[in-house]
Structure 1
Amino acid sequence: MELLVVISIISLLVTMLVPALQMALELARRAKCAVNLNGIGKGLIVYETTYRSYPYVPLNGAGWGVAIGTSRDVDPSGGGPESRSPSSCLYLLVAKNFCPRDMFVCPSAKEEGVSEKVGSYWDFANGTAVSYALMNPYGPDRYFDGSLAGHIPILADSSPYFHPDTGLRNDEPVADLAQADEDKDVQAGNSRNHRRDGQNVTVIGGSSVWQERADVGCGHDNIYSRAEQEDGTDPHGSIPEPAADGSGKDQGPAGPNDSYLVQ
């Protein structure tokens, strides 16, 4: 009888401790994720200081609506039109040795870096090698540069609206965060990296903060969608489908205050 009591007590303690342990581990992973994003943000600053611009792989008339890794073996300096993934711009931080490859993998995401000779390529191998979304570097006007205001988010955990393996738009509708009151409605707009509990968000300079909602841009702008207004004040927004031939005119951010983080 006493043995059964002891077993019952142990079972109860395990039931109580396991969730607490899991949460502690997740908090540690969130902290490491924030360190990763902070490091990438710092890498952008050093890159800009070195090359006088943020990393940018030109399309030369092509489009960006392609899977991560497309044209990764084609040098853009040739001038020919090549469809690219926005992630190719971040990859320059790896290729030029500003950031290590494993810095781009969130410890909470089920992804891992790909071991290869980095200097031979112009993009990550696939979506499993990069867990973070960046300000869309393409579109009629480029806003992914150091001229953005310091409070504008430029990096975060991966977008819920792009497939993690390919970086292509998925079929998930954009969450209307302006009307989101309940937790489940708010979580629908969060990154999948951390079980939709929230995401680490980084502004120019590398400062990273944990946010439980995605509408933390300028004027409660949804950082994962393109605003319908040029000032970026649109917590709902949309995800325009980019034209593969580069003919689309609305693929990029709506304006300098619109945080449109993709992939």
Structure 2
Amino acid sequence: MNSIEFPVLDQKTKNSVISTTLNDLSNWSRLSSLWPLLYGTSCCFIEFASLIGSRFDFDRYGLVPRSSPRQADLILTAGTVTMKMAPSLVRLYEQMPEPKYVIAMGACTITGGMFSTDSYSTVRGVDKLIPVDVYLPGCPPKPEAVIDAITKLRKKISREIYEDRISYQRENRSPGGLLASVYHLTRIEYSLDQPEEVCIKVFAPRKNPRIPSIFWVWKSADFQERESYDMLGISYDNHPRLKRILMPESWIGWPLRKDYIAPNFYEIQDAH
């Protein structure tokens, strides 16, 4: 415990002053409320049953597990990661907003574990796919070790510099702050040893973004393009039914844009 005694704040605002820096305030708010996305593939993940229970009380650190990468800023990987899982893991990581962190839990996640010597399909370390902030060895690590890893990550966050974080976000954002429509295509043939995957990104300006629709080539793109239109405002030319799919037609704005201003109140009717 710190032996320094701090004066008690006066109840009157004019006699009470709290001084800090932007770095400390930003770091404190983030390290006190990390929202993890749990990516468990095998046996190590069973330890989270104890963590969420009353004995270790995972929530006391402000950790609220999320099911959507867009709401998470920490991803906990546990278990073996195979080549087939790799694209989905990278996609989840890319969908997380900055700043984001990764904890690699267990030997199989860190090095491939017992499968690293003779398995052709195991990824030899998740850090070959995404950057890792804290490594947590073990087979499996105990719940106490996970708490220790969280503590070390919190210390790392407390030392971050705001200016470095902003410059990193600017360097890694899409070109010119453009909107992007991403297509993941897979080619499957009996003559191929494994499917061939291609990722195509099409960029559009934020003001009146328009992209040609691929509905007439791939009919299943119907719902995906409508969702992009509904959430981000991207118009797809020649789409036969370009209308909102989640929000009502009377909704104003595009909810997943960073510049979206949420209304104080909306009465949801005729949502479809």
The TM-score with structure 1 as length reference comes to: 0.22
Q: Which has the larger share of strand?
A: 2
